[in-house]
Amino acid sequence: MSTAIDELQAIIAELKTELEEQKTSTRIARERIERMSAEVVDSNPYSRLMALQRMNIVKDYERIRDKAVAIVGVGGVGSVTADMLTRCGIGKLILFDYDKVELANMNRLFFTPDQAGLSKVEAAARTLSFINPDVVIETHNYNITTVENFDKFLTTISESGLQKGQPVDLVLSCVDNFEARMAINAACNENNLNWFESGVSENAVSGHIQFIRPGETACFACAPPLVVAENIDERTLKREGVCAASLPTTMGITAGLLVQNALKYLLNFGEVSDYLGYNALNDFFPKMTLKPNAECDDRYCLQRQKEFQARPQPKEQQIDEVVSNEPLHASNDWGIELVAEDAPVEQQTTNTTNVASGLRLAYEAPDKVDVNQSESAAVVNAGLPETSLDDLMAQMKSM
Amino acid sequence: MVDDSTRKTLSNIPLLQIRAGPREKDVWVQRLKEEYQALIKYVENNKQSGSDWFRLESNKEGTKWFGKCWYMHNLLKYEFDVEFDIPVTYPTTAPEIALPELDGKTAKMYRGGKICLTDHFKPLWARNVPKFGIAHAMALGLAPWLAVEVPDLIEKGIITYKDNC
């Protein structure tokens, strides 16, 4: 009897160690890699990325390891964005979100049902470090739009780059609401940081990305948000009963467009789109550039515009151009003409309302003239004796 | 887009003048005074017209607001806690009003019980920055939401009448 118990105990001990081994081995799939190798072997996670150099697409791909990117919002678009950048071997990712993973998120990519209940940043950090342990991942679990958190957010994006005290190289907005976008806009204008805004419509059939370089392109407060015109009759659009629909496809495509342009910007290849829309109903991709509004309400935007105008404007065509004497297109059967981008531009302010076909402003811009008019309605303070805030608070409380 | 009675309610709420958010400490106090004055007037108006429907108060800084709102249905009063933060980008962006106890009970809500506003609210708000304040957000955002959602929730048996309120 006692020998049988001993035997069983030995088996249990053996199984325990085996279980431990299993647990640890699944969490660390590989060791960290010091340098990215271009060697083409099955065991090199970077061989296909380094091949971009050999194909003359990217110069010095390994620079990606010196880049830090902040991702605000780790939902349907943000999590896939983080996944892609992790697989590309980005140096550092800083994730912001205050939400938890829910089963209702399972129609999107990345998160798995067993992660339900975990904070999105924590769940994402675990998966991402498992996929690529070379990426430094920092997580922040709070809502950036509140007064106390916004200051933490400002400090983080301006000091948590790869070198301590340096700003991040790029901020990616993957949030789902106007308030958070405006908060990111305010922070990036203030810190003079370039950022991409991204979004998917509430009916899940369109998406967009927008590259904002403070002072140089329109900031998010310069004009009402630009949205992809879906040509759906408002009267037939049923909104009753739900706030938002979502599709993994639209979100994945938007994340793809976002990361593609982020990579082009970070590694200087190709042409970065200033605004790129995606209409899923007819597979249309409108594209345009938005000039900043000289009457923007954000004072840091105005400051950045002044700074930008004071800077000598580089001739963009001369930078990074591949030297070639051959004509780009020998024949031109379709009579396609190029129109110079630096052709005289009209007044900057009118520019924000002239949008490319297939796009529209989310709503009409407020009429600047009418802001200070009190119209017929009463205005607070009018003829009232000065009352202290404490008195007002007390009065409200006693009502 | 806004019905006549809402329009009348709105026109009786004083408009605000100061454009300042909670990060601009000094000017924010001035804006906060305007907010309180507008709210006090709105509650007085409601009392006079027999449609008193909410109370609000804030922390000292005026960045966190909380209180109660109620809705009358078949002569019974249904009461809910209301809360919201003033976002750093206020008044350019409206506060996101939340009824935490109804979180998860209706699809017309975002996480944390933030009410889902109509397509018309944000454009209307944007066109009236900085004239609209918290009182306007209550009148244009929460009031119509309660009027549509509460009867529906009662009918579905998701909320029931509590004697104590």
Of A99, A182, A380, the CB nearest to B93: A182
Q: Indicate whether B164 belongs to any domain.
A: no
In this prediction, residue A222 carries a pLDDT of 95
CA–CA dist A92, A64 (Å, integer): 9
Interface test with B, best of A142, A179, A298, A386 (most B CBs within 10 A): A179
pTM exceeds 0.90, yes or no: no
Residues 6+ apart with CB under 8 A from A246: A76, A107, A108, A200, A204
β-strand pairing of A195-200 with A170-173: parallel
Beta strands in chain B (DSSP E): 54-58, 64-73, 76-85, 109-110, 114-115
Q: Indicate whether B165 belongs to any domain.
A: no
Work out how many domains chain B is built from and give that number. 1
A143 is annotated as contributing to ligand binding = yes
Q: Indicate whether B69 belongs to any domain.
A: yes
Put simply, the answer to whether A147 touches B96 (Cβ < 8 Å) is no
Distance of CA A259 to the CA centre of its chain: 8
Put simply, the answer to whether A241 touches B107 (Cβ < 8 Å) is yes
Phi, psi dihedrals of residue B133, rounded to the nearest 5°: -130, -160
Q: Torsion-angle region of residue A342: left (phi > 0), alpha (psi -120 to 50) or beta? A: alpha
A243 among known catalytic residues: yes
Q: Torsion-angle region of residue A391: left (phi > 0), alpha (psi -120 to 50) or beta? A: alpha
First-to-last CA distance in chain B? 33
pLDDT of A321 over the 70 cut: no
| Cβ(A112)–Cβ(A157) below 8 Å | no
ipTM value of the model?
A: 0.87
- Surface-to-core class of residue A23, CB atoms within 10 Å of its CB (0-12 exposed, 13-18 middle, 19+ buried): exposed
Residue ranges of chain B with per-residue pLDDT less than 70: 1-2, 163-165
CA–CA dist B61, B28 (Å, integer): 9
HSE-CB for A38 with a 13 A CA cutoff: 10
User: What residue type is assigned to position B41 of the chain?
Assistant: K
For residue range A218-257, what is the model confidence (pLDDT) as tens digits? 999 998 888 888 777 655 555 555 668 899 999 999 999 9
Tokens in use for A280?
């899923």
Tokens in use for B44?
């007085």
Which CATH architecture fits A38-310? 3-Layer(aba) Sandwich (3.40)
A155 confidence band (pLDDT: 50, 70, 90)? very high
Residue with tokens 């310069």: A222
Query: ∠A262-A268-A270 over CA atoms, to 5°?
Result: 80
pLDDT of A344 over the 60 cut: no
C-alpha distance from A233 to closest chain B C-alpha (Å): 14
Residue among A88, A174, A188, A243 flagged as catalytic? A243
CA–CA dist A361, A355 (Å, integer): 8
Tokens in use for B72?
């009358």
In this prediction, residue A374 carries a pLDDT of 42
Higher pLDDT, A90 or A19: A90
Q: Which residues pair with B78 in a beta bridge?
A: B71
Q: Indicate whether B120 belongs to any domain.
A: yes
DSSP-derived secondary structure letter, A368: G
In this prediction, residue A376 carries a pLDDT of 43
Expressed as residue numbers, the domain containing B125 is: 4-156
Secondary structure in 3-state letters for A206-235: EEEEEEECCCCCCCCCCCCCEEECCCCCHH
In this prediction, residue B8 carries a pLDDT of 86
For residue range A64-79, what is the model confidence (pLDDT) as tens digits? 999 999 999 999 999 9
Q: Indicate whether B163 belongs to any domain.
A: no
A192 is annotated as contributing to ligand binding = no
Q: Indicate whether B38 belongs to any domain.
A: yes
**SS3 breakdown of chain A: % helix, strand, coil, rounded to 5?**
35, 10, 50
C-alpha distance from B100 to closest chain A C-alpha (Å): 15
Q: Torsion angle of alpha carbons A279, A258, A197, B107, nearest 10°? A: 60
Question: Within 10 Å of residue A46's Cβ, how many Cβ atoms?
Answer: 22
Mean pLDDT, residues A109-124: 96
CATH number, domain of B24, equals: 3.10.110.10
Tokens in use for B70?
């109620």
Question: Within 10 Å of residue A178's Cβ, how many Cβ atoms?
Answer: 21
A381 confidence band (pLDDT: 50, 70, 90)? low
Residue with tokens 């040509």: A231
Q: Indicate whether B162 belongs to any domain.
A: no
A385 confidence band (pLDDT: 50, 70, 90)? low
In this prediction, residue B112 carries a pLDDT of 84
| Cβ(A357)–Cβ(A277) below 8 Å | no
Phi, psi dihedrals of residue A154, rounded to the nearest 5°: -55, -50
For residue range A182-203, what is the model confidence (pLDDT) as tens digits? 999 999 999 999 999 999 998 9
> Sign (positive/negative) of CA torsion A213, A218, A224, A228?
negative
A88 is annotated as contributing to ligand binding = no
A375 confidence band (pLDDT: 50, 70, 90)? very low
Put simply, the answer to whether B126 touches A363 (Cβ < 8 Å) is yes
DSSP-derived secondary structure letter, A379: B
Query: ∠A137-A142-A147 over CA atoms, to 5°?
Result: 130
Put simply, the answer to whether A177 touches B110 (Cβ < 8 Å) is yes
Q: Indicate whether B93 belongs to any domain.
A: yes
Higher pLDDT, A225 or A302: A302
pLDDT of A164 over the 70 cut: yes
In this prediction, residue A22 carries a pLDDT of 72
Of B19, B108, B126, the CB nearest to A243: B108
| Cβ(A102)–Cβ(A116) below 8 Å | yes
Mean pLDDT, residues A53-59: 93
Of B41, B87, B131, the CB nearest to A183: B87
Q: Is B122 helix (H, G, I), strand (E, B) or coil?
A: helix
pLDDT of A91 over the 60 cut: yes
Question: Which is nearest to B136 in space by CA: B122, B150, B149, B147?
Answer: B122
CA–CA dist A192, A199 (Å, integer): 22
